[in-house]
């Protein structure tokens, strides 16, 4: 879900996950100081508070940040006369509690995946606006063109095509989105592409093709869609 979200929402969730955790524990530290009467004995050197120099919610919030980020205590530090504070400290710093918020590895991993997503890279793969049916080497073929606009090549690229069309079986069953493979060179290895220049992808209309019994007039009237899937690895990011 975090990977699929837009950048602004992903960053907002990560920031809120940390900030809300700090606020939550900062509020508990403030409640402990308030309930013990530490805030009423500010400046009283004979009184031992739960956390030294904690004089309000802001300082409790800062103490929570210091505890959770392991910055290190200086001006504010917990004392040994506060058992409830020691228990809260253990809860805040134990690894089990840290799992409740995104750890740095999750944050970095999510950002790396979002950066390396192929969404923008796919926009530089251009398909021809039209497919044509024509003779090629004295064979009737359905052809279209694909090209890569980027300098970084796509390696181990492969292409396949599917015909999506409504179909009614011999038993009378209606299949609204029936999928049929269109051969674009799987048997000969022509489906594995080397995209250094625009290539023409060809589907031979033979006895195995779903277009074998379709006339030109029927082809213009039929309602169908051809979905082309091109897969590969971006050379720069893998």
Report residue 25 as tokens. 């524990």
Q: Is residue 156 part of a domain?
A: yes
Q: Is residue 1 part of a domain?
A: no
pLDDT at 148 over 70: yes
pLDDT given for residue 95 in this prediction: 58
Q: Is residue 152 part of a domain?
A: yes
What is the Cα–Cα distance from 31 to 28, expressed in whole angstroms?
5
- Do 142 and 84 share a domain, yes or no? no
Q: What share of the chain is helix, strand, coil (3-state, %, to 5)?
A: 35, 25, 40
- Do 172 and 139 share a domain, yes or no? yes
- Do 93 and 16 share a domain, yes or no? yes
For residues 208-224, b (16+ Cβ closer than 10 Å) or e, as one string?
ebbbeebeeeeeeeeee
- Do 135 and 105 share a domain, yes or no? no
Q: Is residue 168 part of a domain?
A: yes
**Number of domains composing the chain:** 2
Q: Is residue 29 part of a domain?
A: yes
Instruction: State percent of the chain over pLDDT 70.
Output: 94
- Do 154 and 223 share a domain, yes or no? yes
88-147 residue pLDDT tens: 988 888 754 555 555 567 777 888 888 777 777 778 889 999 999 999 999 999 999 999
- Of 109-123, 154-168, 224-238, least confident by mean pLDDT is 109-123
pTM: 0.56
pLDDT given for residue 69 in this prediction: 80
pLDDT given for residue 58 in this prediction: 93
- Do 180 and 90 share a domain, yes or no? no
User: Cα dihedral sign for 29, 32, 35, 39?
Assistant: negative
* Confidence band, pLDDT 50/70/90 cuts, at residue 34: very high
Q: Is residue 60 part of a domain?
A: yes
What is the Cα–Cα distance from 42 to 55, expressed in whole angstroms?
7
Please give the residue range of the domain that contains residue 192.
Answer: 125-234
Are residues 30 and 63 in contact, defined by beta-carbon separation less than 8 angstroms? no
How many other C-beta atoms lie within 10 A of the C-beta of residue 56? 12
Query: What's 153's DSSP letter?
Result: P
Among 94, 116, 138, give the residue marking a domain's end.
116
Question: Average pLDDT of 56-77?
Answer: 86
pLDDT given for residue 70 in this prediction: 74
162-207 residue pLDDT tens: 999 998 888 989 999 999 999 998 888 889 998 888 999 999 999 9
What is the Cα–Cα distance from 86 to 228, expressed in whole angstroms?
62
- Do 96 and 156 share a domain, yes or no? no
Are residues 2 and 17 in contact, defined by beta-carbon separation less than 8 angstroms? no
Question: Average pLDDT of 12-40?
Answer: 90
Q: Greatest CA separation found in the chain?
A: 103
pLDDT given for residue 93 in this prediction: 80
The residue ranking higher by pLDDT, 208 or 102, is: 208
Closest residue by Cα to residue 152 from 113, 196, 198: 196
Report residue 121 as tokens. 């890279």
- For the domain that residue 49 is a member of, what is the CATH number? 1.10.287.70
Among 116, 149, 171, give the residue marking a domain's end.
116
Report residue 86 as tokens. 């020691």
- For the domain that residue 148 is a member of, what is the CATH number? 2.60.40.1400
Average pLDDT score, the chain: 86
Are residues 56 and 30 in contact, defined by beta-carbon separation less than 8 angstroms? yes
Q: Is residue 207 part of a domain?
A: yes
- Do 143 and 57 share a domain, yes or no? no
Q: Is residue 43 part of a domain?
A: yes
- Do 93 and 136 share a domain, yes or no? no
Among 116, 147, 180, give the residue marking a domain's end.
116
Closest residue by Cα to residue 176 from 184, 185, 165: 165
């Amino acid at each position: 879900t975090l990977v699929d979200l837009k950048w602004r929402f992903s960053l907002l969730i990560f920031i809120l996950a940390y900030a809300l955790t700090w606020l939550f524990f900062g509020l508990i530290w403030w409640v402990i100081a308030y309930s013990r009467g530490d805030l009423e004995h500010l400046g009283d050197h004979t009184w031992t508070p739960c956390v030294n120099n904690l004089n309000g919610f802001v300082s409790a919030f800062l103490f929570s940040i210091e505890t959770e980020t392991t910055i290190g205590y200086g001006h504010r530090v917990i004392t040994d006369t506060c058992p409830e504070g020691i228990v809260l400290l253990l809860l805040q710093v134990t690894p089990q509690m840290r799992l409740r918020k995104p750890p740095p590895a999750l944050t970095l991993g999510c950002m790396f995946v979002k950066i390396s997503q192929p969404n923008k890279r796919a926009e530089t793969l251009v398909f021809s606006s039209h497919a044509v049916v024509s003779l090629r080497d004295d064979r009737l073929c359905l052809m279209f063109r694909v090209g890569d606009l980027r300098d970084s090549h796509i390696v181990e690229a492969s292409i396949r095509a599917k015909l999506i069309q409504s179909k009614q079986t011999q038993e009378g069953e209606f299949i609204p989105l029936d999928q049929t493979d269109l051969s674009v060179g799987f048997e000969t290895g022509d489906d594995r592409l080397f995209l250094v220049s625009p290539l023409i992808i060809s589907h031979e209309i033979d006895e195995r093709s779903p277009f074998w019994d379709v006339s030109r007039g029927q082809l213009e009237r039929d309602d169908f869609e051809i979905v082309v899937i091109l897969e590969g690895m971006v050379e720069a990011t893998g």
